[in-house]
Amino acid sequence: MGAGRVFAYGAAAGLIGDLLLGDPRRGHPVAAFGRAAGAVEQVLWRDHRGWGALHTAVCAGGAVAVGCLAARAVRTSPVASVALTGAATWAVVGGTSLAREARTIGRALEAGDVEAARARLPHLCGRDPQALDADGMARAVVESVAENTSDAVVGALVWGAVGGVPGLLGFRAVNTLDAMVGHKSARYRRYGWASARLDDLAGWPGARLTAVLATLAGPDPRGAVRAWRADAAKHPSPNAGPVEASFAGALGVRLGGTLSYGGRVEHRPVLNTQGRAVGTRDVERAVRLSKRVTWLALGVCAGARLLTSARLSRSVRSLGSAPSLKGAQSLKRGK
């Protein structure tokens, strides 16, 4: 079984596992990685970019190394390789948990239970819930669903298609490090710089694919393209901008504006200025769009890996069947 089929079957199995099981309540591999990264930080932390870069290299490089060793250990068994890819995909994607948390908040808002929604919002994003009314929380949920569709699902599939199990684990490690140390607090402004920049780089292809698929799968493709072209570059994040703008245009809503994180207020530009204000029912619409994007991304990434694997196999076979230079010269002399 070729590498393309191993990834296609394994990634599909992993997404189905996530759909059926969601994240484990205890012993999640990503949480274990977070604890290990925290321990490394306690040893290495200095208010210096170089020490932060070393932290990023140790943690992300360690995750990639584990993936390489695991893939190497099962490379002779197609079944074990598919199982390992499925387990890695299930461990790193978080689409089901994302949808579950978003829907929990959405149901509370639709029932008029604003306090219950405020209590649950920190499970999904870092906004200050006390500073938000019902529509503000709905907007925060839609933005989080859009951004995490890229970060928690599509980006992982892209790097899995590129690098197999090491790519899956490496992407999730980089994304987790950014969440841990990549923000602009006094402690991490310099130490977390490398993690933040590496996350921007790793997230670039997945964010663009997410935006394209949201445009194709959404109810208003023209609106998605218009908002993406007009507003994506205004967002402070190079990757969240295209994703949130395309979701906003596809759903016909306005995203962005004033945000509050840990008492710090940010005034972000409005995405899709022609849209309407987000309502509580848009939470479910965003979740459905996220799910459509997820399965389309699986098809695109698996198809790309199968295609490149088939081309590589043909190239190897053609090289193996070509006559050697010495043999070709002998044939020429004999003729």
Angle of CA points 301, 303, 308, to nearest 5° = 95
Give the pTM. Answer: 0.91
pLDDT of residue 327: 46
Q: Which residues contact 145 (CB under 8 A, 6 or more apart)?
A: 98, 99, 102, 247, 283, 286, 287, 290
Residue at 147: amino acid letter: E
| Cβ count near 234 (within 10 Å) | 13
Q: Contact 154/209 with Cβ under 8 angstroms? A: yes
Question: Is 98 within 8 Å of 79 (Cβ atoms)?
Answer: no
124-133 burial, b for 16+ CB within 10 Å, e for fewer?
bbebbbeebe
**What separation in angstroms does the CA of 126 have from each of 106, 143, 259, 263?**
17, 12, 10, 11
CA 102 to chain centre: 17
CA–CA–CA angle 322, 328, 332 (5° rounding):
145
Instruction: Please report the pLDDT score of residue 262 as a whole number.
Output: 64
Amino acid at 194: A
Tell me how far apart the alpha carbons of residues 264 and 261 are, in angstroms, rounded to a whole number.
5
DSSP state of 277: P
Backbone angles phi, psi at 95, to 5 degrees: -65, -40
CA atoms of 143 and 137, how far apart (whole Å): 10
Q: Phi, psi (5° rounding) for residue 127?
A: -70, 155
Give the C-alpha separation, 240 to 143, whole Å.
9
- For residue 158, CA distances in Å to 111, 232, 253 come to 38, 21, 28
Q: Would you write out the chain's pLDDT as a tens digit for each of its 335 residues?
A: 788 999 999 999 999 999 998 888 778 899 999 999 999 999 999 999 999 999 999 999 999 999 999 999 999 999 999 999 999 999 999 999 999 999 999 999 999 999 999 999 999 988 888 888 999 999 999 999 999 999 999 999 999 999 999 999 999 999 999 999 998 889 999 999 999 999 999 999 999 999 999 999 999 999 999 999 999 999 999 999 999 999 999 999 999 987 776 667 777 899 999 999 999 999 999 999 999 999 999 999 999 999 988 887 677 677 766 554 444 444 344 44
pLDDT at 139: 95
In the DSSP assignment, the letter for residue 190 is: T
Contact 279, 135 (CB under 8 A): yes
Q: What is the reported pLDDT for 309?
A: 83
Token duo for residue 263: 């008492």
What pLDDT does residue 320 have?
A: 64
